[in-house]
Amino acid sequence: MKVQFTNTFDGTECFSVCSNLPPIVGSAASEQPNASERALFSAGFSDGSLRVWDFNQLVHGDGATLDRPRFTIEDAFSIGPVDVKLSPDGTRVATSSVDNSLRVFSLQEESKDGESVGSAALLCEAPAEVAEAWKIDFSADGSQVLTGQLALSTLSITPEASGYSLRKDDGDLAFNQQKMMHSLAYSRNGELAAAGNIDGVVHLYDMQTR
């Protein structure tokens, strides 16, 4: 199964699409995730909304369609969408906005009238002066968000008495990096991070030694 978004969807412009699907390797059979795994993909739109679909439900014909996402978050971005990333386990989704702010939402399943339904809620957020978010990605365990615009930073999702907060870790990971980042990714084992700049250069960072 292949899913393709154009630059518009339901009358609103689509700015960012991502998934937590594993890389496709080998035969076409590997394109379909195991039914027991939580495989999601999401998209952020110009109206400030975020929609998340369950890939397994679409593939296995469980009544899901693109106009009926598993999760819908109406106020996912503070201004305009820049980037969207799902945590590897599919329980969280992070968004960054034009004002460099960052929001993290939890994605949970709830029982309603005997059926399982998707429920999304704001977990924590950080303003621009803390997050400096543009491009983003989750760590392998979903406990940190990597952010980058001109320099890389990590923010830890920290439990508090009243919920969760985003705390910026000490030190930037970039050295004299003055080019705007266009892509950002954590390695699946959490040991490396890659940042692609506007000038076509990709920087690799050792996340163990910082």
Q: Is residue 53 part of a domain?
A: yes
CA-CA distance, 185 to 167, in Å (whole number)? 20
CATH number of the domain bearing residue 185: 2.130.10.10
pLDDT digits (tens, 9 = 90+) for 13-59: 555 556 665 554 443 433 444 434 578 888 888 888 888 888 777 77
Helices (H), the chain: 55-59, 128-131
Task: Tell me if 131 is assigned to some domain.
Answer: yes
The answer to whether residue 31 sits within a structural domain is: no
Domain extent, residue 184, equals 8-21+36-206
Of residues 172 and 84, more confidently modeled? 84
Q: What total number of domains does the chain contain?
A: 1
Please give the structure tokens belonging to residue 186.
Answer: 């954590």
pTM for the model: 0.79
